[in-house]
Amino acid sequence: MELCLALTAATSSCQVHIAAYLLPHVPQQVLGALSVEILKAAGERSGGSLDGVAFLLQSDFLGDPAATYAVADIIAKSEDEAVAPELKTFLRDHWSEGAYMEGLRLGQEHYMNLVRIIKWGESPICLRDLPAPLTVAIAYLPLYRECVKAGGCLFSQRLRGQLVEAARRLGDRVFDEVTHGRELVVFLENHLPNFLLHPPRTA
């Protein structure tokens, strides 16, 4: 229990460097056994912010993406009234299986909107006449930048769903629920113009 409190105190007070130091020194079986309680405690001690919870999840605190996503989903679906409503809402909207499906839906909707613009848009700039990399950049550079800003080892399920859908539209490889975020971002990055990813430095 002291370990649980130490981790959640570190994350809930935004002292993420302390939590980052502690996590690698804790046996995985211990983290696994306490995973639900750690996230619940981080939510309870959030002080109105869930940054600590987000840090634990983004850092893949269980050392296993599937397990880390699963524990977030368990709490999101929990009917335990002792779980802070704000924590359940946060996990349901961003880290649950439902959030992954919503991310897929948003990705599909985004793609269909792009197709409509290309086919029937009245903009003086005809997207279909642009080089393919620029069309991809218009479609997916905002998503890429959101992922870069999020950082961490894992992306939220909502973001991951959008990445999976983007990757499916861009290539012949099969991406599904077992594909994790970093691989998807690298795949997306390879389809974006390099000058947009690494703009030249100004004097």
The domain limits of the chain are 2-94, 97-197
| 119-148 tens-digit pLDDT | 776 665 666 677 778 888 888 999 999 999
* Neighbour tally for 93: CB within 10 Å: 15
d(CA 117, CA 16): 43
- Distances 184 to 79, 89, 110, 131 between C-alpha atoms, Å: 33, 26, 17, 22
pTM: 0.82
In the 8-state DSSP scheme, what is residue 151? Answer: -
Residue environment code for 140-167, b if the CB has 16+ CB neighbours within 10 A, otherwise e: bbebbeebeeeebebbbbbbbbbbbbbb
pLDDT value at 49 more than 80: no
pLDDT, one tens digit per residue, over 74-129 is 999 998 888 888 999 999 999 999 999 999 999 999 999 888 877 776 665 666 67
Band (201; pLDDT cuts 50, 70, 90):
low
Instruction: Quickly state the pLDDT bin for 203 (edges 50, 70, 90).
Output: very low
